[in-house]
Amino acid sequence: MQLSIELPEKIDSILRNRLIYTFKIFCTLSDYDYTENSEYKLSYNDNSDDKYFKCKSKFFDLKNINDLNIQWYEIYNQSISDKYGIHKLPVFFLKNDVYEIDILAEIFIWISLQFEYVQKNENFGHIYPFKNSLHGHFNLDPKIPYASIWIEILSNKIKEFYKFETKDNFKKTYIINSHDIDFLPKSNFNSFIRLFKNYLISIIRFKDKKYSKQLLKLLIKKFPNYNKLFYNFNILMNIENEYKAKGIYMFLIENTHYKDGNYNIDDEIFKLMVKKCIDNGNEIGLHGSYSTSDQKGKLTEELNKLQNEGINISGVRQHWLRFNYNHYFKEVDENKLKYDMTIGFNETNGFRSGLAAAYPPYDFENETHHKFLEFPLAIMENTLYFEDKDKYQWYDKSEKILKNVYNFKYGGVSILWHDSAFQGTNFPIEFIELYKKILNDKRFEFTDGKTTFDYFKPIYLKNKLELN
């Protein structure tokens, strides 16, 4: 069904661009075809004909996090409320009455991450604390995809208004199955130190007796050969082949900061492992090193180094999810990358931009969309571990997120299992079973970044959002 947006002629150009961007994403993720002049309109024009579905602009340009207040909207649609397990939604753009909500503005504040963007010069060391996110600041549940729910509500309102028939188009729900490679078995001594360090961390920091026992067992049983414990690619690839899943392997290429991995692009082991992935038909991605966010141009340098080795990269995820809003996304764009997977939380799993789907992020500098897709990081195993170090009931926590991805059905979020999870050296061995259980979930197709990008690109292009 075709749909267009009608805006007042004298509207501010920033507001115009932001509403049109959000509208195009809304159309894409609710099966409408965006057109410039359809007989069915969503109109922000006060003088417009009554035959059109009307909205009132409440949007204001957020300059500071204190500009936002929270109010609540009761969800009247019972099926949406039941599906997502909530009965009210936070509302940020509201001046007087609760009944006229500018839903596109509400969607924008989530997906653009503007709440974080306005804090871009704060000194977080480029790792955003959860408490400074929209969720953290307003005490919202990160496992609820608020922007996705607004999209469904708006879509239903429009369907009702124009009496459109609901068609349920079958969709493939892709999930990007990714592995950040933070450590490679460079030498036996290196591997021993790493294992021993993890053992101490499990006792001192995690205070997890069950896991420290597992690590002690490994230390004794494998003595004195520890290298094989960190060689996990075969195990991982066998599991993926067994479950007919594809995976993308994200490599660091530099280790100049102490928080980087233990290897770099010149190491034999790096070359060997990259070759192994390529021979097995896996996609290789760049895991942008810790210091790439400190200076613009560093990410480009890393991509060029890989290209000089004949390795072409389509996507990236930053190590420690560390990035700088002042130049990171711009650089991803300038390098014509197809996707990024950095938007997730370090402290908890869920939907950092409120959206349980792939989408092009907003470019505040040019007031348009970025030309790459974000595959939001919805689940990573270490975060599951931090959330429950006692009972190991990680499945329930991940299922709450996966269920909401499936509810929204468009897919394109990423999950992350570090390769070090596969012999119990960094995380409890139970994570392997959880990984298998997730891969066996028939609601989803677990795949790599390129496949997902190729699936979404024409869908967004149809709605006038061109991508790299």
The bridge status of strand 248-251 relative to strand 339-340 is unpaired
Please give the residues from 305 up to 324 whose contact with Zn ion meets the rule CB under 5 A.
319
Single-letter code of the amino acid located at 217: K
Shortest Cβ 196–Zn ion spacing (Å): 21
What CA–CA distance (Å, rounded) separates 252 from 275?
Answer: 15
Structure tokens that stand for 124 in this block? 């977080």
What's the min distance (Å) between Cβ of 182 and Zn ion?
4
Residues 272-301 contacting Zn ion, CB under 5 A: none
Interface positions, 313-372, toward Zn ion (CB under 5 A):
319
Element (H, E) at 287: strand 283-288
Which is closer to Zn ion, CB of 135 or CB of 319? 319
Q: Which is nearer to Zn ion, 58 or 322 (CB)?
A: 322
Binding mask 126-165 for Zn ion (x = CB under 5 A): ----------------------------------------
Residue nearest to Zn ion (CB): 319
Q: How far apart are CA 318 and CA 35, in angstroms?
A: 36
462/428 Cα distance (integer angstroms): 45
Nearer to Zn ion, 24 or 179 (CB): 179
Handedness of CA 31, 36, 38, 43 (dihedral sign): positive
Residue 383 Cβ vs Zn ion, minimum distance, rounded to whole Å: 13
Task: Match 């749909």 to its residue by tokens.
Answer: 3
Shortest approach of Zn ion to residue 285 CB, angstroms? 12
Separation CA 191–CA 168 (nearest Å): 52
Give whichever of 116 and 182 is closer to Zn ion, judged by the CB atom.
182
Task: Between 130 and 455, name the residue whose CB sits nearer to Zn ion.
Answer: 130
- Binders of Zn ion among residues 178 to 217 (CB under 5 A) are 180, 182
Classified as helix, coil or strand, 294 is: coil
Per CB under 5 A, contacts with Zn ion among 163-182 are 180, 182
- Six-digit token string for 136: 């953290």
- Taking CA 372 as the corner, what is the angle to CA 367 and CA 376, rounded to the nearest 5 degrees? 100
Nearer to Zn ion, 319 or 371 (CB): 319
DSSP letter (8 states) at residue 68: -
Identify each DSSP E strand in 68-120 by its residue range.
Answer: 71-74, 88-91
Q: Least distance in Å: CB of 337 to Zn ion? A: 18
CB of 416 to Zn ion, least distance (A): 9
Hey, which residues between 34 and 53 contact Zn ion (CB under 5 A)?
none
Cβ closer to Zn ion: 182 or 448?
182
Residues that bind Zn ion (CB under 5 A): 180, 182, 319
